[in-house]
Amino acid sequence: MKRILMLGGALLALAATPAMADDGNESDRAGDIQIKVLGTYVAPDGAITDITVNLPGLPATTQTKANDNVTPTIAIEWFVTDNVSIETIAGITQHDVDATAGLAAGAELVSDAKLIPATVTAKVHFDLGGVKPYVGAGPALFLWVGDDPGAATVPLGVTETNLSNELGLALQAGIDVPVGDKGFGLSLDVKRYFIDTTARWYVGNTLAIETEHQLDPWVISAGIAYRF
C-alpha cells in the first residue's frame, strides 16, 4: 500500500508541474462546479488471496470471481484553481461472487452484495484546446450495505454473509470534451482501485469460513457534464 500511495503522490506531483505553469487563465475556472451524469462499468477481481478460517474444509485450490456490473453514477467536482479540482462520486453497484476453481464452477457464494465506493480524488487538468485530459488520485472507502449468502452456501447451513468495509486508493485518468460555450460537455473516465475485503460466512453464531479477497476493480465511466 505504501508503494501505491507513493505512486499516486508522484503522479499528481509530476502532472501538476506543467499544469501549474499557466497561471494566466486561473480565474477562468477557479471556483467552478462541474456535475457529471455517467454510465459506469465496474469490473472487480474478487480472487481469494488467503483462507483464514475453513471449518468445512474447502479445497486449497478454491478460487472466486466477482461479476461485472453497469450502474449509473454522479460525479461532483469543484475547481480549486483553473487546473486543479477535487471530485467525489455518488453511486451504488451490486455484485455476486461465484466459485471458479476448487468448487463447482459457477457456484454462487455471495449474492446481491451492494457496494458504495466512497471516493475523493484530487485531479490535475491539462488544456489541449478542444479536449481537456486529466489525471488524479485519492482515497476510497468501500462500504458494503447489503449482502446475502449465495445459493450454493444455503444448503450447507450458512445463515449470514459479511463483507468488511475497507480503505484503499483510487488512481484516475480521463478526458473532458467541451460542447459549445454554455458549460456542457462529454466525459470519459477510468479509475483503478487498489482495495481488498474480508468475507465471512456464518452458520448461526459460528464463523465457518473467512477468506481474504483482492477486489482491485477497474471502473470505466462515460457520460455528459455541465460546468457552472
Q: Tens digit of pLDDT for each residue in 172-203?
A: 999 999 998 889 999 999 999 999 999 999 99
CATH of the domain at 73: 2.40.160.20
* Residues shown for the chain: 228
Cα 74 to Cα 91: distance, rounded to the nearest angstrom? 7
Per-residue cell: 104 = 463447482
Q: Which residue has better confidence, 25 or 105?
A: 105
- Which pLDDT belongs to residue 58? 86
CA distances from 219 to 117, 193, 225 (A): 10, 8, 18
Q: Measured between alpha carbons, how far is residue 60 from residues 8, 53, 103 in Å? A: 35, 12, 10
Residue range 200-221, pLDDT digits in tens: 999 999 999 999 999 999 999 9
Residue 12 pLDDT class (50, 70, 90 cuts): very low
* pLDDT value at 6 more than 80: no
pLDDT above 70 (res 14): no
Prediction pTM value: 0.85
The band of 102, judged by pLDDT with boundaries at 50, 70 and 90, is confident
Mean pLDDT of 91-99: 96
Give the pLDDT score at 121: 98
Q: How many domains does the chain have?
A: 1
- Over the stretch 150-166, which tens digit does the pLDDT of each residue have? 999 999 899 999 999 99
Residue 207 CA to residue 201 CA, distance in Å, equals 6
Tell me how many degrees the CA angle 35-36-42 measures, rounded to the nearest 5. 140
- Taking 60 as the threshold, does the pLDDT of residue 118 lie above it? yes
pLDDT at residue 60, as a whole number:
86
Which pLDDT score, from 0 to 100, does residue 5 have?
A: 47
> Can you list the alpha helix ranges (DSSP code H) found in the chain?
2-20, 26-29
Residue 167's closest CA among 128, 196, 132? Answer: 196
Range of the domain at 158: 2-227
- Sheet with strand 47-54: strands edge to edge: 47-54, 206-214, 196-203, 160-163
